[in-house]
């Protein structure tokens, strides 16, 4: 059996741990051969491959990023893209494909499965917004990095009696903001799922100053004020039609300065959240996903994705993961609200 492996979409700590586990079990237990596809769907689309054996995966467990490279290439939007992928896989003698990615990459994997290709999916995203799995690897690392940043912002905010705003990633789902804000003791957490009332935020900020502490606000990049609009970097869209976010933190700082008279500053964590070594939790989760993905290939469980449910790794239909996003439920947000102001 010759198995292709690719990583697509935004990178994520733990991708290399998945690749290592897939290859280690695949070669030693099942005697499979592997082909690494470079840069997401661009690899099978353009026939860009690399060697992928035991030697290539040595020492990569703690390394961030992906040895295969990644991209947001969307073959569904390219004329004849799916047919080219099918031809390239056939001419390379690929029997099965493991696609490691988020909603976009796995959406393409779902399309290919419907066209008869033998695909198994592995969920990844720091945003933790994929359905059918309790957690995606990379999320714990991103939350750990953001929590450390918030811890550091507390002390400088208090020295200068300033409002400090930490803008974290999360286009449609506020999981990173919710978890890092809770863990870091932010006084206000703003997420895309719940448009915020600026007057209420002003009230929370002022009550925090009255208690002689400085307010820390953790805001997701996709958060927006009631009756307001998403703040984007520019008008360009990526191949999956996503706008580039970031800027809501700076907008909020200006509004709060003018409404409260207190100085406000914003820190945008950006790609720092996605870089570097994965936490122990993410290494273990990614490793278990990899071991189970290659077992799914062995069992011919095409069109499935491995998922974490409770403490078990299970197989779910790919469509279950990509049909809709997993957003923060109101009850989870209400828990955090107990600490606002
Ligand atoms: O990986 C998902 C994500 O982290 C989103 O939260 C964020 O909007 C996006 O990636 C940024 O991606 P890019 O690397 O393309 O700027």
- 34-49 pLDDT tens trace: 999 999 999 999 999 9
Task: Report the separation in Å between the CA atom of 169 and the middle of ligand 1, taken as the mean of its atom positions.
Answer: 7
Asked if the model's pLDDT at residue 236 lies above 80, the reply is: no
Residues of the chain above pLDDT 70, percent: 100
Dihedral angle of Cα 137, 140, 144, 150, to the nearest 10 degrees: 110
Beta strands in the chain (DSSP E): 2-7, 33-37, 49-51, 96-101, 119-123, 163-168, 188-190, 216-220, 232-237, 243-245, 264-268, 304-309, 312-317
What CA–CA distance (Å, rounded) separates 211 from 122? 47
Q: Identify whether the C-beta of residue 65 lies closer than 8 Å to the C-beta of residue 11.
A: yes
Neighbouring C-beta atoms of residue 158, cutoff 10 Å = 14
| pLDDT at residue 6 greater than cutoff 90 | yes
Predicted TM-score of the model (pTM) = 0.95
Closest protein CA for atom 7 of ligand 1: 169
* Confidence (pLDDT) at 174: 98
Look at residue 304 in the predicted model and tell me its pLDDT: 97
CATH tag, 2-137+278-322:
3.40.50.450
- The sheet carrying 2-7 orders its strands as 49-51, 33-37, 2-7, 96-101, 119-123, 304-309, 312-317
Least confident of 2-11, 192-201, 241-250: 241-250
Please, where in the chain does CATH 3.40.50.460 lie? Answer: 141-275
pLDDT above 90 for 112: yes
Shortest-distance Cα residue to atom 12 of ligand 1: 10
Domain with CATH 3.40.50.450 in the chain: 2-137+278-322
Distance separating alpha carbons of residues 314 and 15, to the nearest angstrom: 19
The answer on pLDDT for 194 being more than 80 is: yes
Q: What residues are in contact with ligand 1 under a 6 Å CB criterion? A: 10, 125-127, 169-171, 221, 245
Fold classification of 141-275 is Rossmann fold (3.40.50)
Percent of the chain past pLDDT 90, that is, above it, reads: 91
Q: How far apart are CA 130 and CA 123, in angstroms?
A: 7
Average pLDDT, the chain: 96
Q: Distance from the CA of 244 to the center of ligand 1, in angstroms?
A: 8
> At residue 231, does pLDDT exceed 80?
no
Looking at the predicted structure, is the pLDDT value of residue 228 above 90?
Answer: no
Mean per-residue pLDDT for 109-120? 96
Mean pLDDT of 90-95: 98
Give SS3 for 125: coil
With bands split at pLDDT 50, 70 and 90, how would you rate the model's confidence at 33? Answer: very high
For residue 18, the CA-to-ligand 1 centroid distance in Å is 20
Chain centre to alpha carbon of residue 231: 20
Residue 230 has pLDDT above 80, yes or no: no
Please determine, for residue 17, whether its predicted confidence score (pLDDT) is greater than 90.
Answer: yes
What is the reported pLDDT for 212? 82
Q: Which residue's CA is minimally distant from atom 2 of ligand 1?
A: 10
Whether residue 13 has pLDDT greater than 90: yes
Question: Phi and psi (nearest 5°) for 197?
Answer: -100, 115
pLDDT at 85: 97
Determine whether 127 is an active site residue. Answer: yes
**Set 127, 129, 140, 282: catalytic member:** 127
pLDDT at 99 over 80: yes
């Amino acid at each position: 059996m010759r198995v292709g492996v690719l990583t697509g979409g935004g990178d994520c700590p733990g991708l290399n741990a998945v690749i290592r586990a897939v290859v280690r079990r695949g070669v030693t237990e099942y005697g499979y051969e592997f082909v690494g596809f470079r840069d997401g769907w661009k690899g099978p689309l353009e026939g860009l491959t690399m060697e992928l054996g035991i030697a290539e995966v040595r020492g990569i467990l703690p390394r961030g990023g992906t040895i295969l490279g990644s991209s947001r290439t969307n073959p569904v939007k390219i004329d004849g893209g799916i047919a080219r992928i099918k031809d390239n896989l056939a001419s390379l003698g690929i029997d099965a494909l493991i696609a490691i990615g988020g909603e976009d990459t796995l959406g393409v994997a779902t399309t290919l499965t419907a066209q008869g290709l033998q695909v198994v999916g592995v969920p990844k995203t720091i945003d933790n917004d994929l359905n059918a799995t309790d957690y995606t690897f990379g999320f714990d690392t991103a939350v750990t990095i953001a929590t450390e940043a918030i811890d550091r912002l507390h002390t400088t905010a208090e020295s200068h009696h300033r409002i400090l705003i930490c803008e974290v990633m999360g286009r449609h789902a506020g999981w990173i903001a919710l978890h890092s804000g809770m863990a870091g003791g932010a006084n206000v957490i703003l997420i895309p799922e719940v448009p915020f009332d600026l007057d209420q935020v002003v009230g929370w900020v002022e009550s925090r100053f009255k208690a002689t502490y400085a307010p820390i606000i953790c805001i997701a990049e996709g958060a927006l004020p009631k009756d307001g609009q998403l703040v984007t970097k520019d008008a360009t869209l990526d191949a999956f039609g996503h706008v580039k976010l970031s800027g809501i933190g700076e907008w909020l700082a200006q509004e709060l300065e003018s409404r409260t008279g207190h100085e406000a500053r914003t820190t945008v964590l950006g790609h720092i959240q996605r870089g570097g070594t994965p936490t122990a939790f993410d290494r273990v989760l990614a490793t278990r996903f990899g071991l189970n993905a290659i077992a799914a290939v062995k069992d011919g469980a095409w069109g499935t994705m491995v998922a974490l449910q409770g403490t078990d790794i299970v197989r779910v239909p790919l469509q279950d993961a990509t049909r809709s996003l997993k957003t923060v439920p109101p009850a989870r947000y209400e828990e955090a609200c107990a600490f606002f102001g």
